[in-house]
Structures are given as structure tokens and as C-alpha cells.
Structure 1
Amino acid sequence: MTAVPRVASTPWRTILQQAWPILVGAWAGIVFAVLDTAMVGHTDAIDLQAMALGASIYITVFVGLMGVVHALIPIIAQHFGARRLSAAGHAWGQGVWLALGLSVLGGACLLFPDVWLSLSGSIEPEVRTRVAGYLVALALALPSALLFRTIYAMATAISQTRGVMAINLGSIVFKLLFNTWFIFGGLGLAPMGAVGAGVATLVVDWMMLAAGLWMLRRHPAFQTLRPRIGWPRWRDQKELLRLGLPMGGSYLIEVCAFSFMALLIARDGLYASGAQQILANLIALCYMLPMSLSLSTASLTAQAVGAHQLATARRTGLHGIALVMAGAVLTNLILIGAQRPIVSAYTDEARVAVIALTLLQIAPWFHFWDAMHCISAYILRAYKIALVPLILQILALTGVGLIGGWWLGYGPAAGAIAPVARWFMPGAPVGAATMWIMAMAGLALTSLLLFGWYGHVLRRQRWAGDPA
């Protein structure tokens, strides 16, 4: 029988032991996007813009739906902590049905790119055609990606993440091979550019799902839970949606800053759009460290909550916060010292590189608050608290970050904080700089609000012994 990890004595050590496979797997996953950007960046500016816009649209859809599926993590983790192993396996099967339903919804959203591209102003017809082809491939990949996320969620919930890490690492090799073939052509295939990157993702995502299902059948830790796909039950779907919809909304709000920034910054031209994609990729890559630590902290906290070990849950959460803060400081030292080599690795286009270097000036500031926002949100989800964080994120991330960034960057008050933008990011396009500054302000406000609510949860525990 699989044992619940012990975290009472040294929570930080247990968090790190659980986090490193999540981190390696997450970095392997983000390498998909890095490979796409770096390889398409060596074709032409039209393909790079098409992939930047198409990737922004796909990530908006996928991350929102992935957040709903990730409701499985606290649900399964609490079952696991309470030793309700059969219930944990049943919950996974219900998550499979949810993922299939969400795939239909998400696929429909991806097949109408003109609705999204209307935010970007005048886009060249060739760019629109390539965006549409890229998104068709990813719509076909979406079911496999979301189904694999149910496996990922179960593995994370029971602290058995090394198998998923191995699958993610192995997928890089196939992604590189298929990218090279489909993007640049060869062996009788014409170069496909950005569309080829989408086709490569389609093939590799289905390979990853096959490997994940094989792992479930072979790994003893998963077989202990007896994972099975029964008939969908409304009671279980309602529990998943009650937690998953606010979580999906939170994920969606978080990623919308990147997606809508990409769509709006496209108004500044091809080269600004490419530079924006480089910065967005880099921020996403840096985010993997706090995300892995936060996921590990949240799964261990949820296991302790399920076992009614509230002091352990509280101690684990506080240690997780300290680890994420330390990781953010170390990451920022790298961001400050290695900007030029980073940009050189992404592109050979001199005009894109110049703009990217000006935008990267905000990366250390943005990453710190991104990390703080991540750990605060994940800890609350461990207690199955998702609605209040969603409300706070709507107010801060959407109101201040997204709407405020548009209003001051490209809307009626465009240029109002141009002096601040020039001070923060000298030489950067004012609209793009404004969007990033306001997004950072929204993250900072959200982090403070979420930490405040977490303190409220801990006080409630002390007063009433209420785990939620």
C-alpha cells in the first residue's frame, strides 16, 4: 500500500523531494514552446508572428480548461490523505469524462481564430492563414493533452510524479525530431513553418497520452487506487465543476494577461510581436520553479488536510512560501545577468532582439510577484478554496492588470504613464511596456490579497478547527 509522505519534521525537505520531478517535467513541457519559438524564429518574421498569435490563443483555451481538470489534484490528494484509495481512483475516472467534454468545447473555440485576431487590428492575410492552420492541428491535439492532464493530476496528488517526468523528458526528443521535419521540411515533405510546429505537437501529445495510460496499468502506486472509468455521475461531476470552474477561471485570468498582451502588442508590428513572444516564453520558463514548489506544497498540504493533520498542513504551507521566495530571488539573479545570451538563443533577427532586450528589463520584477501569486493561490486550492481567490483575481489581475494595461497602453488613456514606462523599461515600445507594468501591478495586488485570505483561513483553523 502506498504511504502518505511524512512532512511533520522537515516540511521543506519533503516539498523539495516532491517538487524536483514536477519541476523537471514542467521544464520539459515548456521546452515545447521554447523549441517552437526558437525553431520558427529561424524561418521568417511572418511565421514567427503567426506562431506567437496562435500559441497565445491556444494557451488561453488550454490553460483555462486545464485548470478545471486540475480540480482533481486537491480532491484526489484529500482522498489519499484520508486513505480513501478506491474513492481516489474513482475520482480520476470522473475526471476523464470531464476532460473529454472540455475537449469538445475547447476545440470549437480554436477553430474560429478570426474572433481572437480581431483584437490585434490589421493582420496580414498570410499570417491569418498560418494561424488558422496552426490552431486546427492543436484542436486535434487538445483531447490527448487534457486526458494526459488527468494522469498528471493523479500523479501529483499522490506524490508519484517521476513517471510523468520521464514521459515529459522523452517527449522532448520526439518534439525536436518532428519539429525539424515539419517546420523545415525534408524526406519529401515541404516546409510548413508555424503550421508544422502545431502538427508536431499533435503527434507528440497523443504519444504522451499512450505512455501515460501504459504507466497507469504498470505502476503499483497507481494500481493501489484502482483507477477506473465508470459511467459519468452528476454528483461527482458537480464536485469537480464546483472546484474546477473557479480554478479554471483563475488559470484563465492568469494566462489572459499574456494572451491579450500578445494580441494587443501585435499592433506595434511584426518585430514587437516577436519580442513579446520571447519575453512571454522566458517568463513561462521561469514560472516553472515556483509552480513546481507550489504544486508540491499544495498536494502535501491537501494530504494533511484529508488526514485532519491541520498543524502539519499549516507548517507545510509556510515552508512552501519560504522556498518559493528563495527560488524567485535565485531566478532573478540569472535574469539580471544573462539577458543578452538569452535573447541570442531565441532569435537571429536583429530588430526583434533589440526590442526583446528592452522588454526583458521588467522580467525580474514581474517574476517575483508571479511567484508570490502562484504559491498563495495553490495553497488555498489545497483547502478546496477556489471561489474567493477567483473573485480577488478578477478584481486585481483583470481590473488593474489587463483592463488597466489596455486603457493606459492602447485605449483612451494611451501614453498616460509613458514616463513611468520609460523609467522602468528604457527604449521599449510605450504600449508594450505599459501592458507589462500594469500586469505586474495586478500580480502584486493579487498576491497580497491572497496571502491575506490565507491568513484568514489559518486563523479560522485555530479558532474552530475547520479545515476549509
Structure 2
Amino acid sequence: MTTTSFSQKVKQFLIIFLPIFTTQIALSAMSFFDTNMSGKFSPADLAGVAIGTSLWMPVQTGLSGILIGITPVVSHLLGSKRKDQIGHSVIQALYLGIAVSLAVLAIGAMILTPILNGMPLEPRVAQVALYFLCALAFGILPLFGYTVLRSFMDALGQTRITMFITLVSLPVNILLNYLLIFGRWGFPQLGGVGAGVATACTYWLIFLISIFFVHRIEPFAQYGVFRHLTGVSLGKWKELLKIGVPIGFATFFETSIFAAVTLMMSRFDTITIAAHQAALNFASTLYMLPVSICMALTILVGYEAGAGRLRDAKQYSLLGIGGAIVLSLLTAVVLLVFGEQIAGLYSNEHEVIALTQHFLIYAIFFQISDAIATPTQGALRGYKDVNPALMITFVAYWIIGLPVGYITATYTSLGAFGYWIGLIAGLAVGATALLWRLFLVQRKTAVRMVEQSN
């Protein structure tokens, strides 16, 4: 809805943000329980799931980012009162999601085994990683389909619905993890591989529930997404890809840097890999705060920019980024005070707990940079300004962050912790550059609106 005061904006922001945050936490909790419960089974299973997750997550987040491009498209159509075009855009995004899923499955079948064979992994760790990813593959198509339908529902401001869907599925995921990892109630004891099977089943559940809501429940049903099926429109795919590909690659560059670090750490022992993954998994859970604000800003800034209300769009940007910074400082305190207890959630072994706690100290610094960079990207997407962010993230993370991490880890006494120094450096550079880009976009957009009005 259109807002006129700052207090109304705060209220609408919270209405949009809180369900998104709850949804992201629930989705992250699936990864958390995969890692946590696999770690309780054995350190080798924890390391195997860590390697498998590190290979899959950059692909998932990057390609999901492409499909998330439907969010600013729908937000702009909604803000500019062109609701009749929304249903067609969503079904084309679904077709695109199916095509992406099939491509991932085909490529993965060819390259997964050679990649794992090329890594210096213990045999048990490599085996768990391979079969974890094979099991997860059965959930790729529903995951990408759900990503499109969720983005559509969120863009309409109905973030509570996607929150409900995800919260319903989380207990199912935890139960299946329990049954399949540990072999309870007559189910096979699959260890870390069972986490992959459980996650794939959960993806099918949330996809089917989403189809029901979009097809039968208002306000989604009025757009007739599944009522008026059309053929593939390459023109609409081009529009979606023009926005989605830069979003996807920017997301890929950010998430893959963490995966690259995990893979490069395979030269260390299993205990170090397990501790690194445990700390990174918890840091990823904290990352759900800025990423949820990012998604809320894409919706709200996109709606206001689509309607030409630039002052309101700017106020939402400031509100979201400022809120993210405050929350990051609060989570920093949590990591400092409860580091040992957090580490204990992932393992029963003293050596793993102590090393995880040390990694969590480094996590404090890069999650503060995330609090600036990630919401800023959300605001830029709301303005449909996506290409510069792609270049900024690539340079910050891969040209600066990874080399600094490698040099520090290889040529100093910091060892594995050196990679986290590189992460901190890259994220700090990225946050500064993205914030500067947002200021430029807001200024250029305001000038353009003045020129058009004259």
C-alpha cells in the first residue's frame, strides 16, 4: 500500500520483512539440521555434507537468483497498475525454472564425480558428499519451481503465506532427517546421505503446497497463473533473464566465495573442515537477517520506484540498511558471549568445539559487512539496477577476497583462519562499493524524473 509517513513505512516494512525473515530462517534451518544432525552421526558425515553443500549452494543460490528476477518485474507491474500482465510473467518464469532444472541435472551428471575425484578427500567423506548430492538432485525441479511461486507471492506483499508454507514443511524435514540419518522406526540408517533425501522430499512438499495456493487461494488466483497456460515466450524470458542473470551471478559470486574457501580447505584435516563448516553454517543462519531485508527492499523499493515515488523508495532504502546494521551489532554480541554454546550445537567433540568457537570470532566481522552490502543490493534491484552489482561482487570477492585469503592462509601462521581474513576483506570492499552505487542510482533517478516532468 502507498504510505505517507515514516511510521507507516516502518509498519509496512515490518509486515513484509518479518514473514520473509521467518521463511528464510526456516529454509536455513533445513541446512542447519542437515549439518547439525550429520555432525552428531560422525565427523566424516559432517565433513561430507559440508563438501556437498559447498558444491551445491553456489549453484542453487546463483540460479535461484536468476528466477528471483520475477520479484522486481511483478513489483513494477503492480506499482504501475499493469496487473493483467502479471500471470503471464509468472508462468514464463516457471517455464524458465524447469529449463534451468533440467540443465543443472544434465551438467551435474557429467561433472560431479570428476570434481570429487579431483579433491584430496578421505574416502568416507567423498562417498557421503557424492550420495548426498545425488539424493538432493531429486529435489532440484521443485526447489526452483517453489522459488518462482514464492517470489510471485512475496512481490504481492503476501509474505505471510510463504512463511506459513515453509513453517509447515520444517518439522517434516527434521523428522525425515531423524529417521533417515539415524535409521529410526525401521528406516535405513543413511548417515549424511539421509539429509539429502530428507531435503529433496521437503522441496516437493513446499512446491505442491505453493501450487495449491497460487491456483486456488486469493489474491493469487485472480492472476490465473495456471488457468491460462501459454507457450514459451522467448521475449518474456529475455526480460526475465536481463534482470535475473545479473542478480543470479552477483549472488553466485558472493556465495561461491564461501564454497571455494571450504573446498580449498580440503587440504586441512577433517576436524578443521568440520569446525569451519559448523561456524560457516551458523554465520549463514545469521545472514538470513540481511538477506531478508534485501528481499523486502526489492519488493518495497520496486513498488515505489514503479509508481514514480522516489522519495518513498529512498526512505525504504535507508530504513532497511540502517536496521540491518543495528541488528548485525546485536548478533556480534551474541557470538562473543555465547560462542562456546553455539559451537556445542554442532559436535560433541571438544577439539571441534574449540576450533569452531575460534572461527566464530572471525564471523563477527564479515557479518557486519554483509549487513550493509546485502540490503543495498536489494534496494538496487528495486530500481532494476543490477549490472554494476554483478561487477562489484566479482571484483570484491574473487579479485580481492579470495587471493588475500589464499596468501594469508598459505604464507602466514594463521593457516585456515587466513581464508576468513580474505572473506572479511572482500566483503568490506563490496559493501563500500555497493553503497556508493546506490547513492549514484538514487541521484540519477531523481534527475531523470525531473527532466521527464519538464
| TM-score normalised by length of structure 1 | 0.92
How much does 1:259 deviate? 0.6
For residue 222 of structure 1, what is the aligned residue in structure 2?
220
CA offset digits 1:422-463 (Å, max 9, x no partner): xxxxxxxx2321111111111111111111111111111232
CA offset digits 1:222-256 (Å, max 9, x no partner): 12333244211011000111111111100100111
1:309 aligns to what? 309
Residue type at the aligned position of 2:356: A
CA distance in structure 2 between the partners assigned to 1:349 and 1:246 by the alignment: 42
Deviates more, 1:56-65 or 1:184-193: 184-193
| Cross-structure match for 2:96 | 98
Give 1:15 deviation, angstroms: 1.0
Matching of residue 117 in structure 1 with residue 116 in structure 2:
yes
Alignment-derived partner of residue 442 in structure 1: 426
- Given that 1:294 and 1:378 are in contact with CA atoms closer than 8 Å, whether structure 2 keeps it comes out as yes
How far apart in 2 are the matches of 1:119 and 1:386?
Answer: 35
Deviations 1:323-344 (A, max 9, x none): 1111112221212111111111
1:317 positional shift: 1.1
| 1:371-414 alpha-carbon deviations (Å, 9 max, x no partner) | 111011111111111111101111111111123322432xxxx2
| 3-state SS of 2:186 partner | coil
- Aligned identity (percent) is 26
Q: What SS is found at the alignment partner of 2:231?
A: coil
The 1:352–1:407 alpha-carbon spacing in structure 2 relative to 1, beyond 3 Å, is same
1:339-387 CA distance string (max 9 Å, x none): 1111111211222112111111112111100111101111111111111
Corresponding residue number in structure 2 for 1:133:
131
Runs of 4+ in 1 over 6 A off after TM superposition: none
Kindly report the root-mean-square deviation, in angstroms, between the aligned alpha carbons of the 2 structures.
1.8
Matched residue SS, 1:230: coil
Matched, 1:210 2:208: yes
Change (3 A) 1:29 1:97: same
> What is the alpha-carbon distance in structure 2 between the residues aligned to residue 223 and residue 68 of structure 1?
24
Deviations 1:156-202 (A, max 9, x none): 21110111101111111101111111101133333100111000111
CA shift at 1:143, angstroms? Answer: 0.5
Q: In structure 2, what is the Cα distance between the partners aligned to 1:287 and 1:178?
A: 25
Contact map agreement 2:317 2:376 (CA 8 A) in 1: no
Equivalent-residue separation in structure 1 for 2:2 and 2:201 (angstroms):
36
CA–CA separation in structure 1 for the residues paired with 2:73 and 2:213: 21
Structure 1 pair 237–83 and aligned structure 2 pair: CA distance change class (3 A) = same
Q: Which residue of 1 aligns with 2:411?
A: 415
CA distance in 1, matches of 2:415, 2:306: 47
- Does the 8 Å contact 1:65/1:106 carry over to 2? no
Task: Please state if 1:267 is matched with 2:267.
Answer: yes
Per-residue deviation at 1:8? 4.8
What is the Cα deviation at residue 292 of structure 1? 1.3
CA distance in 2, matches of 1:272, 1:104: 35
The separation in 2 between residues aligned to 1:171 and 1:155, in whole angstroms, is 17
Change in CA separation of 1:466 and 1:400 when aligned onto 2, cut-off 3 Å: farther
Is contact 1:12-1:323 (8 Å) kept? no
Number of positions where the alignment pairs a residue of Structure 1 with one of Structure 2? 448
Q: Are the equivalent residues in 2 in contact too, given 1:74–1:381 (CA < 8 A)?
A: yes
With the length of structure 2 as denominator, give the TM-score of the two structures.
0.95
**Match for 1:454: what amino acid?**
L
Equivalent position of 1:433 in the other structure? 417
Q: Is the 8 A contact 2:63 2:248 kept in 1?
A: yes
| 1:375 matched residue in structure 2 | 375
Residue 87 to residue 287, structure 1, CA distance change in 2 (3 Å):
same
